[in-house]
Structure 1
Amino acid sequence: MNNSVTLKDIAKALNLSISTISKSLNDSYEISVETKQKVLEYAQKHHYSPNRLAKGLKEGKSRSIGVVVCSLDNHFVAQMLDGIDRVSTEKSYQIIIMQSKESQDQERACLELLYAGGVDGILISPACETTDFSYLTSLQDAGLPLVVFDRLSDQINTHKVGADNFKGAYDATVHLIKSGYKSIAHLNTSTALSISTDRLNGYKQALTDHNIAYRPELVRSCDYSDAYKLNKDLERAIKYYMGLPLRPDAIFSAGDQISTRCLALLNKLGYRIPQDVALIGFTNTDLADALNPALSTVHQPALEMGQLAAKKLISLIESKDDTPAEYETIKLQTSVLVRRST
């Protein structure tokens, strides 16, 4: 049974009009500070909460934002969500978070649910499997504001916020080269999204700029769709690398889960890091210092990415204009944090 207090109840209890109560709660200049204080104290004491749906219908908005991410068991994603939540809360929007688990079908189901639920806009970091953006563009054509973050794609025209993956990969590879490593392997995710191609291209460019020949056999892709497949692919890749006649003396890994698992597998297979092989990877884990050895990483400004994506979406939701003059693609700077593994 719902015993929630209504505006009418507060008005009756305080012997004031419903309009005075409503204006007090909305901090109207027409009402005295004393009255506002009295109304607010009563409302808080009796757990009054405005009916969001009724308020939304009146404003033509639900004041909710749908957020679709690949997975919630990921430190980097958690940091981005924290950024989204901070900005949304500040602007009085609530967020509804759903995970695609890297599946295009599940991603679409999430989007359908959010759209049916009447969200005001959607923030999406596309699944690794997603190659077809037509469903997203159809939602956009139906008038739903959308912002893509973290994993960017040329297939949709909207605001996009990500990290400079090309530069992050370039800097990580240059760090390895300057540390004396010449035979550098690259472990990537099997996806058509720019996040992977940008990191591969950054790695290739660093080799070219330092007169090191690109060896295709040193680039391997891993299936990112579930933990079991990822572990199998990684173990296979490491054994393959270490069995090459000219085996790598360093590995640059391009994903959050790949980097930490790669370190664990190298340890399990008995390789000494960095003596047998050095390792650097894209990951925002707080545990990088605690790993054995401490892991060199490419750090991405995840919190800022989330904050900026949320700001961009809310500006689209609240803009009176149907289409902004120009959509922006923003790429934030990464930083290389050098530790014992390199």
Structure 2
Amino acid sequence: MSKTVNITDIARLANVSVATVSNALKGKKNVSAATRERIIKIAASNHYQPSMAAQGLRTQHTKLIGMLVHDFQNVFSSTIAEDINRELHQRGYSLVVIANNSKRLLNASLFDGLIVFNYPASKQQLETIITASKLPTVLMASDSQLPNVVNVVTDNRSSVIQLSQLYEQTDHKKVCFFTNDADSYNSNSRWQTYHDYFLNKHQYDITSDTYNAHFRSEPARELALKLLQAQKYNFFYCLNDMMAYGVYQAAEELNLTIGQDISVVGFDNTQSHLAIFQPKLTTADPNMPLWSKMISDQLIDRIENQALMSNRTEYVPNQVISGSSVHLID
């Protein structure tokens, strides 16, 4: 459209009533998530700007929070989005998930705040997107120093140290580490803690025994098959649970028993949502309910008090979940 669109135009394009469009853009709960997202995408693609006069408001609050993600191939991403959405709904806000190829929506003036998680961009690219959006922002996997941005991240260090200590309690001493790409905050944070622990405690540099399995199960399965067939390792430290699942699959194909023939450790406690780990995986639980609450509190406080966020990093405490995937000795 070349003309300035109004709410009636959006309703016609979306094939819904004007009331439905109004409710969707205000974040009301009587519009389904799918319909709300469809309306928002239509509004954004047609450069719709909410009319303050039509809303009868002196603020530009839409009660909508955008969440910028890569995709939902990883169950962890979809689960944390559901938890955040639930928390926001309790506070009168709605979450709209924006996939990588739809980031233009951020320029549509439809959101009160922004959450970024698992987004595939360099630090510089991410900072450009955030600066252009002019939105108060919470980053879930970053140590950004941008103004008006708060980092709310899981406390990787404390859990990784506890998981590292399992090395002293097992006779499986041939250790390797499965990581993600170099620009992954969580992968880097967890790996660096493992590296420092093993170097300081055991004078062992883990670098040459580190493999990138891209935080996904299939690359981890393929890697684990090769390494197990070569009998190179018997302890797999996986920096997320999906890679641990790939090791489980490889072990099953080779008739190896997890917790006896080999040891496996994960991170993220995905097994609390997917019943795929037999035996139970030793992992770290990032405490999603608390994480979601901390994120929501930060954004809503900024939105409703109209104050700039002071840049800082807040850590979400988590805990190690003990399973039967590590061969422990008495």
Normalised to the residue count of structure 1, the TM-score between the two structures is 0.71
Kept in 1: contact 2:156–2:190 (CA 8 A): yes
Paired residue secondary structure (1:67) = strand
| Gapped regions of structure 2 (runs ≥ 5) | 1-15, 21-49
Change in 2 beyond 3 A, CA 1:67/1:177: same
Aligned AA for 1:258? Answer: M
* 2:256 matches 1:265: no
Q: How big is each residue's C-alpha offset from its partner over 1:50-79, in whole Å with a ceiling of 9 and x where there is no partner?
A: xx9743754322111111233335443344
Q: 1:3 to 1:86 in 2, by over 3 A?
A: closer
Q: Is the 8 A contact 2:68 2:98 kept in 1?
A: yes
Are positions 1:111 and 2:103 aligned together? yes
**Which has the higher Rg, Structure 1 or Structure 2?**
1
- Equivalent residue of 2:131, what SS? helix
**Shift of the alpha carbon at 1:155?**
5.9
Q: Secondary structure at the match of 2:266?
A: strand
Which deviations, in whole Å up to 9, do the C-alpha atoms of 1:70-96 show, x marking residues without a partner? 333544334422332233222211211
Unaligned 5+ segments in structure 1 are: 6-51, 101-105
Indicate yes or no: 2:328 matched with 1:339: no
Is 1:208 the counterpart of 2:199? The answer is yes
2:59 aligns to what?
A: 59
Report if the CA contact (8 A) 2:88-2:94 is conserved. yes
- What is aligned with 1:198? 189
> Which residue is 2:278 aligned to?
292
Query: TM-score scaled to structure 2, two decimals?
Result: 0.74
Counterparts of residues 118-267 of structure 1 (less than 5 Å): 118-127=110-119, 129-134=120-125, 136-137=127-128, 139-140=130-131, 143-149=134-140, 151-154=141-144, 156-157=146-147, 158-224=149-215, 231=218, 233-244=219-230, 247-267=232-252
- The offset of 1:327, in angstroms, is 2.1
Q: RMSD across aligned C-alpha pairs, in angstroms?
A: 2.8
Q: How many residues align?
A: 278
% identical aligned pairs? 17
Specify whether residues 178 and 142 from structure 1 end up closer, same or farther in structure 2 by C-alpha distance, changes over 3 A only.
same
Q: Take 2:57 and 2:247, find their aligned partners in 1: how far apart are those partners?
A: 51
**Aligned equivalents of 2:108, 2:319: Cα separation in 1:** 40
Once residues 132 and 97 of structure 1 are traced to their aligned partners in structure 2, the CA distance between those partners, rounded to angstroms, is 21
Partner amino acid for 2:208? E
How far apart are 1:268 and its partner, in Å?
A: 1.8
SS of aligned partner of 1:298: strand
